[in-house]
Structure 1
């Protein structure tokens, strides 16, 4: 169970860290699966000459070690606390994608500030709205050790409180996820920047509106693997008085209230 201090940190900062949420033996099996997927693309674990791209993006495999990782009791308890029991989609697995980042000075081309989209938009891109249709959380599974030199995800603490004001005028239709960051105030990008670093098996559980970005260059010696799925919700957040709200929804309401 998340202690009260972590619940408050989630509201204020937009994320909490669950150290060792995925057991070490499961993580090692996940790494082996990822390397098999990479090998099928000609990228070999023992041959650094095949590490020619700064990033290779994989769909997260739907196999047993990832099922074990995605159904970690510590994670499901946290999801219940942050979203409400019975309000989120209990997927058996991790889902999402795994951008594998290799030691490289090259620009990966995907390192801009953004929030993740949550539903298919009319222009073929992913869209998002203030009620966070279909997405309740962003989750970062550290499948390898990650330090500041190995291209960790960058996070703008508290930025989830700035996003609702941008999304609200678009109503339920929402907007393309790529249109959100350019509309944010300059103060968003002056917020404290932190790196999603830690040991393999640590998990960052984030508000869906948390502004984040990849970092580069990767100056480490080994590839960095992070799975980054969303946690689905069964109904969009109501965002109205008289309805029981979960912490994720409470943060959206706080952002709307504080920025009027």
Structure 2
């Protein structure tokens, strides 16, 4: 499934693109069009688009292996086999859209986002080898061009997050309202390389779980739609394996070592994420 070049890119840069990863584009388009009725906006009247950035709660699900068989195969190749994956994490494609209707600062000059930088995984205490959120699939539910609201990733951040976690075996929270947490904005500011995740509807990006990213400003006249999920493993990463997966290889490369015997010094635990009143959530 994955070419040698794609495997190398994931290990070195922390992401890979699966073009046309979603098989049923008609169903994806139907779910997308339903958002107009759910939020009550008129697709032909931009004056009704009151909120610039909206998250839609999940109300409908479809079997992900049927919707995206090539994506599931690629995930298996990245983590060392689908038998290592907690199947519940890739079982369904939910209509959990993030939509940017028209989202940019007062200045019309393009710029990187000033806020919202994060790594996914706020619902558990993060460790270097955590089995949760090891891969983040990002699904493009509309065509997205440069400067048109694409998610922006910082490939250098994978190494910075990995090294920070290696230095904190007691665990780190992924949510900025809790302590200890990542110095996420310092990490983002120190990264020189950024990539806009542009593409066609149905394209799927697979990102390393440590990837710091944010939604880019949408200077286009059209709303952009993305969906994401989180791939989890049954067991923690084995960073001292004699046969590491591509995911483990990428993590070790981020650390600058060939093997790492990591042991957390605090219990693993799930947490309830604090409510973020700054986001518009539509049920």
| TM-score when normalising by structure 1 | 0.83
Contact 2:60/2:95 (8 A) holds in 1: no
Q: CA deviation at 1:58?
A: 1.1
Match of 1:257 in 2: 256
For 1:195, the equivalent position in structure 2 comes to 196
RMSD: 2.8
Q: Which moved more, 1:248-257 or 1:110-119?
A: 110-119
Q: In the aligned structure 1, how far is the partner of 2:185 from the partner of 2:46?
A: 41
Mean alpha-carbon deviation: is it higher for 198-207 or for 87-96?
A: 87-96
Distance 1:129 1:56 in 2: 30
Range moving further from structure 2, 160-169 or 38-47: 38-47
Structure 1 partner of 2:98: 99
Structure 2: stretches of 5+ with no match in the other structure: 107-112, 261-283
Provide the rounded CA distance (Å) in 2 between the counterparts of 1:171 and 1:130: 8
Report how far residue 88 of structure 1 moved. Answer: 0.9
Query: Is residue 210 of structure 1 aligned with residue 211 of structure 2?
Result: yes
Count of residues in Structure 1 that have an aligned counterpart in Structure 2: 246
Partner of 1:89 in structure 2? 86
Q: Distance in 2 between matches of 1:229 and 1:151?
A: 19
Deviates more, 1:246-255 or 1:31-40: 31-40
For the residues of structure 2 that align with 1:143 and 1:49, how far apart are their CA atoms? 23
Q: Which runs of 5+ in 1 are unaligned?
A: 121-126
Task: Give the alignment of 1:77-226 within 5 angstroms.
Answer: 77-85=73-81, 86-90=83-87, 91-95=90-94, 97-105=96-104, 111-117=115-121, 119-120=123-124, 127-171=125-169, 173-178=171-176, 179-182=181-184, 188-190=190-192, 192-216=193-217, 218-226=218-226
Post-superposition shift, 1:116? 1.0
CA distance change for structure 1 residues 89 and 12 in 2, over 3 Å: closer, same or farther? same
- Deviations, residues 211-234 of structure 1 (Å, cap 9, x unaligned): 111111x22121100101111211
Aligned to 2:26: 28
Residue range with higher mean Cα deviation, 49-58 or 137-146: 49-58
* 8 Å Cα contact 2:127/2:172 also seen in 1: yes
Segments ≥4 residues shifted beyond 6 Å: none
Change (3 A) 1:232 1:63: same
Q: Secondary structure at the match of 1:76?
A: helix
User: 1:183–1:21: structure 2 CA closer, same or farther, 3 Å change rule?
Assistant: closer
For 1:139 and 1:157, locate their aligned partners in 2 and report how far apart those are by CA, in whole Å.
Answer: 15
